[in-house]
């Protein structure tokens, strides 16, 4: 039997705009800015640092509420999409590049794009704009999810290229940077399925928990626990989407001490408890 066409209980998870001043949205918590500069110059402050944008720049700012002091040049032309990270992440596979690359965006949200990258991402933005208007589409929510996925893979491609170029310039990571890189590699292999304690990762890296916590905070602006939760969230989502598994079976597989603790943890990392998550599927 066909179900009622999909809708969002609140506002749609995307806002499209071509107005640079629209990146000032302190009311949007857990939303991300995606922007391409098509012409001219502009600037803004993010995480307390002033950034300048110019033609062919790509901006990815995971915490839009931290953007202040926007300045637009006379000939500035941009295209942008504001996205709800909860919806965006729900569409992405486990251990996607956005998780790995988040710490580099904290330090440098601007990617100097290639012309073909900017053109492709601009088309992705327009696709999301048109999908937002198509509210009578039976698969409204699903089509927005597909458009979101395409946009993010194109953004990841530019982001990954930038990070690889930076790695080549800096050579083999040493010291603190190496610790963060190695931590990311351990998280990517899926250890958070059963290990969500900072001590475990410190032991894997042969450093103290205090050193690991301080190093990750200094280089990424995030706590180790935050990174662990970011990698665990997609794992929980995937398991909950498997209707053959009960909540208690998932809690057991992930080695939680109790179902209630698993439920509280899920609420913390996904924003909803397991039952609510499954009702929204």
**What digits encode the pLDDT tens for the residues 129-178?**
999 999 899 999 999 999 999 999 999 999 989 887 876 676 545 577 78
Which CA distances in Å does 136 have to 12, 139, 146? 14, 8, 17
SS3 state of residue 164: helix
Residue written as token pair 């001219």: 40
Q: Which residue has the tokens 């208007």?
A: 133
In a domain, 3, yes or no: no
Do 268 and 236 touch, CB atoms closer than 8 A?
no
Q: Does 8 reside within a domain? A: no
Classify residue 6: in a domain, yes or no. no
Domain C-terminal end among 150, 169, 188:
169
pLDDT tens per residue across span 193-226: 999 999 999 999 988 999 999 988 887 778 999 9
Asked whether residue 183 is domain-assigned, the answer is yes
Residues 115 and 227 both lie in one domain: no
Answer yes or no: do 128 and 114 share one domain. Answer: yes
Question: Domain of 234: which CATH number?
Answer: 1.10.10.60
With respect to residue 9, please indicate whether it lies within any of the assigned structural domains: no
| 4 domain residue, yes or no | no
Model confidence pLDDT, tens digit, residues 69-105: 999 999 999 999 999 988 888 888 766 777 667 777 8
- Please give the tally of structural domains in the chain: 2
Q: How far is CA 215 from the centre of its chain?
A: 21
Residue where a domain stops, chosen among 103, 137, 169: 169
Specify the CATH number for the domain of residue 57.
2.60.120
Tell whether 2 is covered by a domain: no
Q: What is the domain range of residue 257?
A: 175-279
Record the pTM. 0.71
């Amino acid at each position: 039997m066909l179900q009622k066409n999909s809708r969002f209980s609140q506002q749609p998870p995307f806002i499209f705009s071509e107005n640079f001043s629209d990146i000032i949205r302190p009311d949007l918590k857990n939303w991300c800015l995606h922007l391409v500069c098509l012409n001219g110059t502009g600037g803004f402050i993010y995480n307390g640092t002033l950034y300048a944008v110019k033609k062919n720049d790509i901006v990815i700012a995971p915490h839009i509420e931290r953007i202040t002091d926007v300045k637009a040049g006379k000939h500035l032309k941009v295209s942008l999409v504001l996205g709800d990270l909860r919806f965006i992440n729900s569409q992405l596979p486990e251990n996607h590049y956005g998780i790995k690359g988040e710490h580099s965006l904290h330090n440098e949200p601007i990617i100097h794009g290639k012309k073909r990258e900017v053109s492709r991402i601009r088309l992705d933005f327009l696709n999301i704009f048109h999908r937002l208007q198509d509210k009578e589409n039976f698969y409204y929510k699903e089509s927005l999810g597909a458009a979101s996925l395409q946009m993010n893979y194109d953004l990841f491609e530019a982001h990954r290229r930038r990070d690889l170029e930076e790695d080549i310039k800096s050579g083999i990571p040493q010291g603190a940077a190496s610790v963060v890189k190695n931590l990311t590699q351990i998280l990517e292999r899926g250890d958070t399925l059963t290990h969500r304690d900072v001590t475990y990762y410190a032991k894997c890296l042969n450093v103290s928990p205090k050193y690991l916590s301080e190093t990750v905070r200094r280089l990424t602006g995030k706590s180790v626990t935050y990174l662990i939760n970011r990698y665990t969230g997609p794992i929980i989502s995937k398991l909950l989407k498997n209707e053959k598994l009960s909540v208690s079976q998932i809690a057991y597989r992930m080695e939680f001490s109790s179902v209630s603790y698993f439920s509280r943890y899920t609420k913390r990392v996904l924003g909803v408890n397991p039952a609510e998550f499954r009702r929204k599927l």
